[in-house]
C-alpha cells in the first residue's frame, strides 16, 4: 500500500505541470485563432465567396494539369526532334571521319611504295588535332567534338585521363572531354561498332555552369589503323529557350484563364445570390413584423418564379397573421368582456351563497354539504375570474409594474406564514434558507408575492408530505428565490410545459387546493414583466425546484442567477458525490434558527428527517443565461407600459 501511495503521489506530481500548461496552450490557441475569426465568419456567411474560391481552386488544378501535359508533350517533341537531327549530323560526321582515315591510309601506302618504308607512318596526334579542328569549325555553337583513345586515352576507373599526350583526349572550344563523356558511354562505344548515344552534362573550363546535352559516339580508326572514339556533343540550349518560352506562355495564359473563370463565377453566382440575399433581408423584415415587405421581381426565369412564390407566401402569411391577430383580439376582448360581465351576477350569487352558507347549521346534512360545496366552488370561480382578468391584461400588453425597493425576506415570510395551515394538513414543513442577510431588489411586492405563493403552494401540494425549502440568494446584480420540494417531480420535457395554461402533469390528479391552472402562467408573465426569469427543474420521484431570478435594479439585464437551477441534492450531483468528485454531507434540517425559519409541525412524521444543508448566502454564479432553457422560449415578453384602467382591458 505504501508503494502504491508513493506511486500515486509521483504520478500526480508529474501530471501537475501538464495541468498548468493546458490553460497556457488554450490561451495561445485562442490568441492565434483570433485574427482568423473575421475571415472564418466571412467564409461561413458568404456563399458567393465560397463558390468563387472553389471555382478558382478547380481552375488552378485544371490549368496546372493541362500545363503539365502540354509541357511534357512539347518537351518530348523537342527531344525527339533534337535526337533525330543530332543522329543525322553525327552519322554524316562519322562517315566523313572514316573516309578521311581511309584516304590518309591509302596516301601513306602510296608514299611508302614510292620512297620506301623509311618515311614512317602518319603522326596520329597531328591527324586527330586536325580532325577535331576541322569538324568543330563547321558546328560552332551547335555541337562540340571530343575524341578519346580507348585503353590509354580514355578515363580510367577513377575518371582520370592518360598521360600519353599522343593519344590523349581532345575537345573543341574548351570542352572538358573526360568530365563531359560518361565512362559508361565510352565503355559501351569501345565494345560496340555502331553509334551510341546518352544524355550527359556539357562541362567547359571557361567557368560556365554545366549544361544538359546529348553525346553520340562511335569507335573509328585513324590512318595508322589505331582505334579511337569520336563524339558529337549537342547542347540543349535552344530547346531550353523554346521550352521556357512555352512555359511562360502557358503560365500567362493560365493566369488569364483562372482570373477570367473567377470573374465569370463571380458574375454567375451574383445573379443567383443577389435574389437569395434579397429574400433573406425581406424574410428578416417579415420576422420583425413588417408584413408589407415584398421582393422586386423582374423576368420570367427560375429566380423570378422563386421571387413570385416568395411574394405569394408573404401575402398569404400576412393575411393569415392578420386573421389570427383579429381572432386573438376578439378572443381577448371576449374574455375581458365576459369576465367583467360575470362580476355582477357573481356578486349576486356570492351574496346569496353567503346567506345560505351562514344558515347551513339549520339544514339537513345533505343541504349543509351542498352549501359548503357551493361556497368552495364560488371561491374557486372568483379566483379563476381574477386570473382570467390578469391573463387578459398580459395579453393586451396592459400589465403595470409598480417597482419599489423591497426586502424579499419579508415577502417570503408572509407567503410561508400564509401557507402554514396547508403545510400542516399535508404533513410538510417549509424551511427558509439564506435569510440571514437582507435581500433587497426593486420589484413589485404584489406580483412577487403572487409568484411565490403559487410556487410554495404547488410545492406543498405535490411534495407528497415531504419538506419544502425556500432559498434566497443575491449576487452580481441579481436576486433569486428557489422553491425546492421532494415530491413526484417532473418528467423529461415537462420543465417548460409546466408553465402552459391549464397544463397538469397528471390530468387525473385533483386540485385539492382549488387551483385554477393559470397560476404558473401568470407567475412566468410576472417574472418577465420584471425583466427576470422563472425556470423549473425536476426529476421523476426526486422532486422539483422552481427558480425565480430578478434584476436587483429595475431595468437591468440579467447575466446569470446566484442559485443553480439543478439543486445540489439531485441524483446526478449525489452520483458525483459518491464517486468522490464532490463532498456534501447531509445533516438533519433545523426547525428554526441558523439563518433559517421553518413552519409546520410535521405531525405523524419523523422529527429527524434528513434534508441536505444549503448555505445561507449563495456564492456568485456568473453563468450565462441559456435562452433555450427559458420557459416559453420565443413567446411574447410583456413590456412595461403606462398604467391602463381595468375597464379598458
Q: What is the DSSP string of 262-328?
A: HHHHHHHHHHHHHHHHHHHHHHHHHHTT-TT------SSSHHHHHHHHHHHHHHHHHHHHHHHHHHH
Provide the pLDDT confidence category of residue 398 given band limits of 50, 70 and 90. low
147 - beta bridge partners? Answer: 170, 230
Q: Which of 230, 238, 134, 240 is nearest to 185 (CA)?
A: 230
User: Judging by DSSP bridges, how do beta strands 196-202 and 211-221 pair with one another?
Assistant: antiparallel
Give 66's contacts (C-beta < 8 A, 6+ positions apart): 254
Provide the pLDDT confidence category of residue 381 given band limits of 50, 70 and 90. confident
Q: Which long-range contacts does 162-169 make (Cβ < 8 Å, 24+ apart)?
A: 165/125, 166/124, 166/125, 167/124, 167/125, 167/128, 167/226, 167/228
Task: Round to whole Å and give the CA distance between 517 and 351.
Answer: 26
Q: Which long-range contacts does 35-39 make (Cβ < 8 Å, 24+ apart)?
A: none
Query: Among 4-18, 36-50, 67-81, 262-276, where is mean pLDDT lowest?
Result: 4-18
Write the pLDDT tens digit of every residue in 486-502: 988 888 878 778 887 77
Q: Nearest 5°: CA angle at 533, between 528 and 538? A: 135
Mean pLDDT over 416-441 rounds to: 89
Query: Among 24-38, 64-78, 503-517, where is mean pLDDT lowest?
Result: 503-517
Query: Among 34-43, 99-108, 109-118, where is mean pLDDT lowest?
Result: 109-118
Q: What pLDDT is stored for residue 326 in this prediction? A: 82
What would the grid cell of residue 255 be?
493566369
Give 338's contacts (C-beta < 8 A, 6+ positions apart): none
What would the grid cell of residue 333 be?
376582448
What's the DSSP call for residue 418? H
Neighbours of 341 (CB within 10 A): 10
Task: Round to whole Å and give the CA distance between 420 and 411.
Answer: 14
Burial 319-330 (b: 16+ CB within 10 A, else e): eeeeeeeeeeee
Q: What pLDDT is stored for residue 598 in this prediction? A: 37
457 - beta bridge partners? Answer: none
Q: What pLDDT is stored for residue 112 in this prediction? A: 60
Q: Select the more confidently predicted residue: 97 or 19.
A: 97
Q: Is the dihedral of CA 321, 327, 333, 338 positive or negative?
A: negative
Mean pLDDT over 17-27 rounds to: 68
Q: What pLDDT is stored for residue 217 in this prediction? A: 92
Q: Select the more confidently predicted residue: 182 or 303.
A: 182
CA 416 to chain centre: 49
Q: What pLDDT is stored for residue 605 in this prediction? A: 34
Alpha helices in 474-549 (DSSP H): 494-497, 519-529
Write the pLDDT tens digit of every residue in 546-587: 999 999 888 888 888 889 888 888 888 777 666 654 444 333
Kindly state the percentage of the chain with pLDDT values over 70: 76
Q: What pLDDT is stored for residue 393 in this prediction? A: 67
Whether the predicted model's global pTM rises above the 0.75 cut: no
Q: For the chain, what is the mean pLDDT? A: 76
Q: Select the more confidently predicted residue: 395 or 520.
A: 520
Give yes or no for residue 470 having a pLDDT over 90: yes
Neighbours of 116 (CB within 10 A): 8
Mean pLDDT over 141-168 rounds to: 60
Provide the pLDDT confidence category of residue 479 given band limits of 50, 70 and 90. very high
What would the grid cell of residue 77 be?
517533341
Provide the pLDDT confidence category of residue 373 given band limits of 50, 70 and 90. confident
Mean pLDDT over 198-211 rounds to: 88
Give yes or no for residue 509 having a pLDDT over 70: no
Q: What pLDDT is stored for residue 618 in this prediction? A: 37
In order of 462, 482, 563, 647, the CA distances from 618 in angstroms are: 26, 11, 7, 44
Write the pLDDT tens digit of every residue in 611-649: 333 333 333 333 333 333 344 333 333 333 333 333 333
Write the pLDDT tens digit of every residue in 305-340: 888 888 888 888 888 888 888 877 787 777 767 767
Give 19's contacts (C-beta < 8 A, 6+ positions apart): none
For residue 372, the number of C-alpha atoms closer than 13 Å in the C-beta half-sphere is 7
In order of 366, 435, 618, 619, 641, the CA distances from 562 in angstroms are: 54, 14, 6, 7, 29
Provide the pLDDT confidence category of residue 237 given band limits of 50, 70 and 90. confident
Query: Among 73-82, 188-197, 316-325, 370-379, where is mean pLDDT lowest?
Result: 370-379
Q: What pLDDT is stored for residue 518 in this prediction? A: 75
Q: What pLDDT is stored for residue 213 in this prediction? A: 92
Neighbours of 351 (CB within 10 A): 10
Q: What pLDDT is stored for residue 156 in this prediction? A: 45
Provide the pLDDT confidence category of residue 216 given band limits of 50, 70 and 90. very high
Query: Among 118-127, 242-251, 552-561, where is mean pLDDT lowest?
Result: 118-127
Provide the pLDDT confidence category of residue 19 given band limits of 50, 70 and 90. low
Q: What pLDDT is stored for residue 9 in this prediction? A: 56
Query: Among 98-112, 287-301, 422-436, 545-559, where is mean pLDDT lowest?
Result: 98-112
Q: Select the more confidently predicted residue: 527 or 585.
A: 527
Give yes or no for residue 88 having a pLDDT over 80: yes
Provide the pLDDT confidence category of residue 595 given band limits of 50, 70 and 90. very low
First to last CA, the chain: 77
Q: What pLDDT is stored for residue 545 in this prediction? A: 92
Write the pLDDT tens digit of every residue in 155-172: 444 444 444 445 678 888
Provide the pLDDT confidence category of residue 214 given band limits of 50, 70 and 90. very high
Amino acid at each position: 500500500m505504501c508503494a502504491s501511495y508513493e506511486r500515486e503521489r509521483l504520478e500526480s506530481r508529474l501530471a501537475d505541470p501538464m495541468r498548468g500548461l493546458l490553460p497556457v496552450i488554450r490561451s495561445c490557441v485562442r490568441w492565434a485563432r483570433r485574427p482568423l475569426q473575421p475571415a472564418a465568419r466571412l467564409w461561413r456567411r458568404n456563399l458567393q465567396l465560397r463558390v468563387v474560391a472553389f471555382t478558382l481552386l478547380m481552375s488552378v488544378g485544371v490549368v496546372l494539369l493541362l500545363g503539365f501535359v502540354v509541357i511534357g508533350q512539347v518537351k518530348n517533341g523537342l527531344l525527339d526532334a533534337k535526337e533525330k537531327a543530332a543522329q543525322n549530323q553525327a552519322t554524316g560526321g562519322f562517315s566523313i571521319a572514316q573516309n578521311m582515315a581511309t584516304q590518309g591510309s591509302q596516301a601513306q601506302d602510296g608514299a611508302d611504295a614510292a620512297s620506301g618504308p623509311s618515311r614512317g607512318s602518319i603522326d596520329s596526334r597531328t591527324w586527330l588535332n586536325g580532325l577535331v579542328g576541322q569538324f568543330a569549325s563547321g558546328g560552332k555553337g551547335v555541337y562540340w567534338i571530343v575524341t578519346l583513345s580507348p585503353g590509354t586515352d580514355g578515363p580510367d576507373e577513377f575518371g582520370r585521363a592518360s598521360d600519353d599526350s599522343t593519344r590523349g583526349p581532345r575537345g573543341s572550344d574548351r570542352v572538358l572531354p573526360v568530365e563531359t563523356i560518361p565512362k559508361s558511354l565510352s565503355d559501351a562505344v569501345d565494345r560496340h561498332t555502331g553509334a551510341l548515344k546518352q544524355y550527359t552534362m556539357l562541362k567547359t573550363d571557361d567557368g560556365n555552369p554545366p549544361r544538359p546535352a546529348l553525346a553520340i559516339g562511335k569507335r573509328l580508326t585513324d590512318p595508322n589503323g589505331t582505334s579511337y572514339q569520336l563524339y558529337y556533343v549537342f547542347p540543349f540550349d535552344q530547346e531550353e529557350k523554346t521550352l521556357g518560352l512555352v512555359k511562360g506562355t502557358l503560365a500567362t495564359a493560365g493566369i488569364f484563364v483562372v482570373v477570367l473563370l473567377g470573374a465569370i463565377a463571380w458574375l454567375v453566382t451574383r445573379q443567383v445570390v443577389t435574389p437569395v440575399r434579397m429574400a433573406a433581408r425581406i424574410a428578416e423584415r417579415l420576422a420583425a413584423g413588417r408584413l408589407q415587405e415584398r421582393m422586386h421581381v423582374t423576368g420570367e426565369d427560375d429566380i423570378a418564379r422563386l421571387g413570385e412564390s416568395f411574394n405569394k407566401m408573404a401575402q398569404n402569411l400576412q393575411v393569415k397573421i392578420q386573421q389570427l391577430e383579429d381572432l386573438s383580439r376578439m378572443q381577448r376582448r371576449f374574455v375581458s368582456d365576459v369576465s367583467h360581465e360575470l362580476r355582477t351576477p357573481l356578486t349576486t350569487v356570492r351574496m346569496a351563497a353567503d346567506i345560505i352558507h351562514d344558515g347551513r347549521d339549520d339544514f339537513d346534512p345533505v343541504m349543509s354539504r351542498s352549501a359548503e360545496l357551493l361556497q368552495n366552488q364560488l371561491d374557486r370561480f372568483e379566483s379563476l375570474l381574477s386570473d382570467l382578468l390578469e391573463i387578459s391584461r398580459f395579453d393586451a400588453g396592459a400589465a403595470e409594474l409598480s417597482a419599489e425597493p423591497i426586502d424579499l425576506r419579508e415577502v417570503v415570510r408572509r407567503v410561508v406564514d400564509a401557507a402554514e395551515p396547508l403545510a400542516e394538513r399535508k404533513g410538510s414543513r417549509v424551511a427558509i434558507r439564506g435569510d440571514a442577510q437582507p435581500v433587497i431588489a426593486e420589484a413589485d411586492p404584489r406580483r412577487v408575492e403572487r409568484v411565490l405563493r403559487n410556487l410554495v403552494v404547488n410545492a406543498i401540494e405535490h411534495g407528497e408530505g415531504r419538506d419544502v425549502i425556500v432559498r434566497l440568494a443575491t449576487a452580481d446584480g441579481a436576486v433569486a428565490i428557489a422553491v425546492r420540494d421532494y415530491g413526484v417531480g417532473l418528467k423529461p420535457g415537462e420543465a417548460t410545459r409546466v408553465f402552459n395554461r391549464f397544463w397538469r402533469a397528471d390530468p387525473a390528479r385533483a386540485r385539492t387546493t382549488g387551483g385554477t391552472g393559470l397560476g404558473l402562467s401568470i407567475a412566468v408573465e410576472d417574472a418577465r414583466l420584471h425583466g427576470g426569469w422563472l425556470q423549473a427543474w425536476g426529476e421523476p420521484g426526486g422532486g422539483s425546484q422552481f427558480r425565480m431570478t430578478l434584476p436587483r435594479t429595475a431595468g437591468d439585464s440579467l447575466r446569470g442567477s446566484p442559485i443553480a437551477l439543478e439543486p445540489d441534492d439531485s441524483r446526478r450531483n449525489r452520483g458525483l458525490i459518491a464517486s468522490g468528485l464532490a463532498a456534501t454531507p447531509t445533516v438533519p434540517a433545523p426547525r428554526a434558527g441558523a439563518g433559517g425559519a421553518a413552519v409546520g409541525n410535521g405531525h405523524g412524521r419523523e422529527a429527524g428527517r434528513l434534508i441536505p444543508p444549503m448555505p445561507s448566502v449563495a456564492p456568485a454564479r456568473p453563468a450565462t443565461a441559456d435562452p433555450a432553457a427559458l420557459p416559453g422560449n420565443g413567446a411574447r415578453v410583456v413590456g412595461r407600459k403606462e398604467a391602463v384602467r381595468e375597464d379598458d382591458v
